[in-house]
Amino acid sequence: MTVNVAYAGREYPPTSAYEVGREKIHEFAEAVGATHAAHGDPAIARALGYPDVIAPPTFAVVVAQRAEQQLIADPAAGIDFSRVVHADERLTHHRPIHAGMRLITVLHVDSIALRGGLAMITTRAEIAADDGAPVATVVSTLAVRGDDGSGA
C-alpha cells in the first residue's frame, strides 16, 4: 500500500487527556539528560514560580507522538511504520508543561508530498490544557519509504 496523499488537510479528533505526572517527567528528564532540579523537586519548581515540577521542553514530543498514532494506526493512510524515518521536528511552547496538567491534543496532517522516492508527511500537534489554553505546538515531518523501492 502507498501513502494516501488525500490525507493532507485531515484533522483528527482531540485525544483523550494525557495526565502529566511527576514520575513521567522525572523519567523523561533522566532519559534526555536534563539535570535541572525543577524537573524532579517540587519545592525548587515552586520556588521558581511553577505549580509543580516542570518538564524539559522536548517532553511535548511524548504527547504529540501519542496523537500522531491516530494517523500511523489508520489503515487507510497507508503508512507502514517500519518504513518511517523521523525527518524533522519543531516545537513552539506557549507555556511550560508541569506535573498535574491534563493535556489534550488535536492532530493536523498539514501536508503530504512525494519527493525522491519518499512520502514526506508533515503533521502539527496542537497541545492544550484541558481548559483549552494552548500549551505547545509540535510540527513533525516523517519520511516514508515506499514498499517497492520507488517511494510512496
Q: What is the pLDDT along the chain (152 residues), one digit of tens a residue?
A: 689 999 999 999 999 999 999 999 999 999 999 999 999 999 999 999 999 999 999 999 999 999 999 999 999 999 999 999 999 999 999 999 999 999 999 999 999 999 888 999 999 999 999 999 999 999 999 999 986 554 45
Report the CATH number that the domain containing residue 35 is assigned in CATH.
3.10.129.10
Residue 121 lies in a domain: yes
Residue 13 lies in a domain: yes
Residue 139: all three cell numbers together:
510540527
Say which residues have a Cβ less than 8 Å from residue 1's Cβ, sequence separation at least 6. Answer: 78, 80, 147
Residue 152 lies in a domain: no
d(CA 143, CA 8): 14
18 is in which domain, residue-wise? 5-145
Residue 79 lies in a domain: yes
Residue 88: all three cell numbers together:
524533522
Strands (E) located in the chain: 18-19, 84-93, 102-115, 118-129, 134-145
d(CA 8, CA 51): 38
d(CA 118, CA 70): 21
Q: What is the pLDDT of residue 115?
A: 86
- Is the distance from CB of 15 to CB of 62 less than 8 angstroms? no
> Could you give the strand order of the β-sheet that contains 134-145, starting from the edge strand earlier in sequence?
18-19, 102-115, 118-129, 134-145, 84-93
Task: Point out which residues pair with 88 in neighbouring strands.
Answer: 141
Q: What is the pLDDT of residue 83?
A: 92
**Domain count of the chain?**
1
